[in-house]
Structure 1
Amino acid sequence: MDINMQRLQVTSTEFEEEGWIPSQFTCEGEGTNPPIKIRSIPAEAQSLVLLLEDPDAPGGTFDHWVMWNIDVNGDIAADSCPGICGLNSKGTVGYYPPCPPEGSHRYIFVVFALNKNLPLQEGSSKKQLLESIEGAVIAKGTLTGRYEKQDKKA
C-alpha cells in the first residue's frame, strides 16, 4: 500500500481483528456475510470495493466475495449485497462462506475507496475489477478474521 494513501478503518460487530468469525457466517451456519463497518472514508470517495480473500486455501488465494459500487455510507449489513457482486472462486456471484477443508484459515476483508463508480457488469471477475480500479484507489483498509471448522465432517 502506498505510504501516502489514506487508511480506511474496517471493523465488524461480530469479531475483532484476527478474531474468530462466528460459525453462523460460514458453511457450518447460515452462510451469510457478517456485518462490516467502514470508517475514515475520504470525502472525495465516490464508491467502495470489497474483496474477501482466503490466502491459506490449498490451491492459492480463494476469493469468497467480490463486490463494487458500494455506497460510501460505510455500512454493510449482515446477509446483504449493497453493491454489484462479481464472481467468487466457486464460480458463483455473491458471498461464498468460509469453509476451510482443514485447519485454521485467515479471511481478509480488503476494502478500497475509489474516486469513481465502476462500469463493470454483475458477474465480472476479480481480475476485471482490479484492472478497472487502477488509478482510482484513494484509500484502503483490511479486517482479518479466522475460521476453523467446528464439525470436522462439514
Structure 2
Amino acid sequence: MAALILAVLTLTSTSFSHNGMIPNRYTCDGKDISPALNWSDIPEGAKSLVFIIDDPDAPDPAAPKMTWVHWVLYNIPPNANGLVEGISEKNLPPGTLQGMNDWKRTGYGGPCPPIGNHRYFHKLYALDTVLPDLQHPSKAALEQAMQNHIIGKGELIGRYQRPF
C-alpha cells in the first residue's frame, strides 16, 4: 500500500511571524480578536478546509497536562485565501462552520496562559470532502470526522507569555 503524500499548505500571518510572539491585541490581555491569517498552496481536489488553534503547553509549559483549544473552524471553502483580523462569525467565508473551543463556546479565544511562555499552533488542513454539519463539534470529534480525508496540512506557531 502506497503512503499518502500530504500537500504542504502555506499558512502565514501579518500579525506575527512563525515562532514569533503574538501581539497583546490578539490575547486576553488586549482586544482578544483573531489575528489576520493567509494561506496558499491548497491542493487540487480540496473540497474544504479546517482551521484549528490549540496550545499543547497548558497549563504550564514546564509540566503540560493538556492541549487547550482556542478556535475550531471547518468546511471553509477551498477558494478562501485567509481570514481578516478580528473576523466575526457573520463574516466567515460562506459555508464555514464552527466547533467548540475549551471555553465551551464557538469563536476565537485568544492566548491567556496562567504561567510561562506558551506555543499556539495554528493548523490548516485541506480535506477531500465537505463534512456534514457536526453541530459545534469538539476538536476531537472534528479530528475523528477528518480521518482519511486530509490531503494537505500547514502550520504556523505563535508564542505568548502574559506580562504579569
| Structure 2: runs of 5 or more not aligned | 60-64
1:13 counterpart residue number: 14
Q: How does 1:43-122 map to 2 (within 5 A)?
A: 43-58=44-59, 59-72=65-78, 73-80=80-87, 81=89, 82=92, 83-122=96-135
Q: How does 1:28-43 map to 2 (within 5 A)?
A: 28-43=29-44
Identity of aligned residues (%): 37
How far did 1:4 drift? Answer: 1.9
Between the aligned partners of 1:113 and 1:71, the Cα distance in structure 2 is 10
How far did 1:122 drift? Answer: 4.0
Q: Which string of whole-angstrom CA distances, capped at 9 and with x for unpartnered residues, describes residues 44-102 of structure 1?
A: 11111011010110241000011101122221111124221111111111111100101
Asked whether the equivalents of residues 120 and 129 of structure 1 are also in contact (C-alpha less than 8 Å), the reply is no
Between the aligned partners of 2:76 and 2:86, the Cα distance in structure 1 is 15
How far did 1:36 drift? Answer: 0.8
How far did 1:3 drift? Answer: 7.2
Q: Which string of whole-angstrom CA distances, capped at 9 and with x for unpartnered residues, describes residues 24-49 of structure 1?
A: 00001110110111111012111110
Size of the aligned set, in residue pairs, is: 150
Kindly report structure 1 stretches of 4+ aligned residues shifted beyond 2 Å: none
Between the aligned partners of 2:4 and 2:38, the Cα distance in structure 1 is 23
Between the aligned partners of 2:111 and 2:16, the Cα distance in structure 1 is 14
Structure 2 length-normalised TM: 0.86
Q: Which string of whole-angstrom CA distances, capped at 9 and with x for unpartnered residues, describes residues 106-127 of structure 1?
A: 0000110011111123421112
2:138 counterpart residue number: 125
AA at the equivalent of 1:107 = Y
SS in 1 for 2:148: coil
